[in-house]
Copies of this chain bind each other. A is one copy, B any other.
Amino acid sequence: MREEKQKRLKAKGWKVGNTREFLGLSPDEEAYVEMRLRLAGGLRKRRLHRRMTQTDLAKILDSSQSRVAKMESGDPAVSLDLLIRSLLALGASRKELARIISGPDSIPAS
């Protein structure tokens, strides 16, 4: 939010190694970033679990391989919207999403 920080984040794209707070993120900014990373990881985990390639998934999503790659890498140029809709499209339920967001996760038993 706070436009200032927004800009700083955009500038750096918060690529930064394996990414963490210590960049001067406020608590809510940190939660936001962490959430994205969790969703990104959840997406990759689910895709691999189904033994799909990024290209396969892209087809399902009516998107492109490059965008899937960006999603999974937590690229800041991808919205939470897209991440979440992708997970839903992979069959994740709201409850599973909640688990991904809050907890350690795990694929719920095939």
Contacts and interface: CB of A to CB of B under 8 A. Distances in A.
A85 B25 CA distance: 14
Interface size class of A (residues with CB under 8 A): 20 to 34
Interface string A31-61: 1101100000000000000000000000011
Majority SS at the chain A contact face: helix
Contact of A3 (B32, B62, B80, B101): B62
B91 A28 contact: yes
Nearest to A60: B1
Interface of A: 1-3, 28-29, 31-32, 34-35, 60-62, 79-81, 84-85, 88-89, 91, 93-95, 97-99, 101-103
